[in-house]
Amino acid sequence: MYAIVNGLKLFYHKEGSGRPVILLHGNGEDHTIFDVAIRDLARSYTVYALDSRSHGKSDPVPTLTYREMAEDVAAFIRQQGLEKPALVGFSDGGVVALLVALRWPDLPGRLVVAGANMTPAGIKQPWRTLMRVQNRISPDPKLDLMLTQPHLAGWQLTGITAPTLVLAGEKDLIDESQTRRIARSIPGAKLLILPGETHGSYVVHSDKLYPAMANFLRG
């Protein structure tokens, strides 16, 4: 299915029935990374799994910003008439979910933020070095996005009012200190570091994501 949002055609997959849950994928991915989570969530929720701009089947743009991606999600929520959807964002999608909750606190009902960072320095140095090398060899707006954004401060995250669950893998490419800072900064946020998991091992085509957040989503 497609929605025209902020002048762009965005693809989304809809499945299930019940309270709305929006799934936001990471950099260079699309909604299909959540295939197993969609199956599990759709038993109790109406799931909307989006392809971000310049990803999947959505329209391409020459440059990417998290701000514009958050604007897309906010516009999508309003266009679909969704009442307090839960936002589940992985990696870049987690950054987008944080921005939506900050700029439009009345929109999300709950947040699940998995493998997100506050600044580019939150990505562990070896990974940033690899990204820089790749971007020099083959410039890519998606790599530019990760190397130059976001720029969130702890004091900003204190403004998030939606109940929040922060997830990360024990072996995540995001530095654990930044994950913990996100959770510490958001009032009342819950933190779960998943033993033995990497950045995406519990999310991408995985049956581990839903159990990690099921009780939280039920409230």
The pLDDT of residue 60 is 98
pLDDT, one tens digit per residue, over 48-64 is 999 999 999 999 999 99
Average pLDDT over residues 2-13: 98
> Count of domains in the chain?
1
Say what percent of the chain tops pLDDT 90.
100
* pLDDT on residue 63: 95
pLDDT in tens, 110-128: 999 999 999 999 999 999 9
**Residue 208: partners with Cβ closer than 8 Å, 6 or more residues away:** 194, 197, 201, 202
Across 9-16, average pLDDT: 98
Write down the pLDDT at residue 140: 97
pLDDT the model gives residue 209: 98
pLDDT at res. 202: 98
Q: Cα 145 vs. chain centroid, distance in angstroms?
A: 14
User: What 3 state SS string does the chain have?
Assistant: CEEEECCEEEEEEEEECCEEEEEECCCCCCHHHHHHHHHHHCCCEEEEEECCCCCCCCCCCCCCCHHHHHHHHHHHHHHHCCCCCEEEEECHHHHHHHHHHHHCCCCCCEEEEECCCCCHHHECHHHHHHHHHHHHHCCCHHHHHHHHCCCCCHHHHCCCCCCEEEEEECCCCECHHHHHHHHHHCCCCEEEEECCCCCCCCCCCCCCHHHHHHHHHHC
**What percent of the chain stands above pLDDT 70?**
100
Q: Band the pLDDT of 81: cuts 50, 70, 90.
A: very high
Q: What is the CATH number of the domain that holds 203?
A: 3.40.50.1820
Domain carrying residue 209? 2-218
pTM of the model: 0.98
Across the chain, what does the average pLDDT equal? Answer: 98
Per-residue pLDDT reduced to its tens digit, 152-189:
999 999 999 999 999 999 999 999 999 999 999 999 99
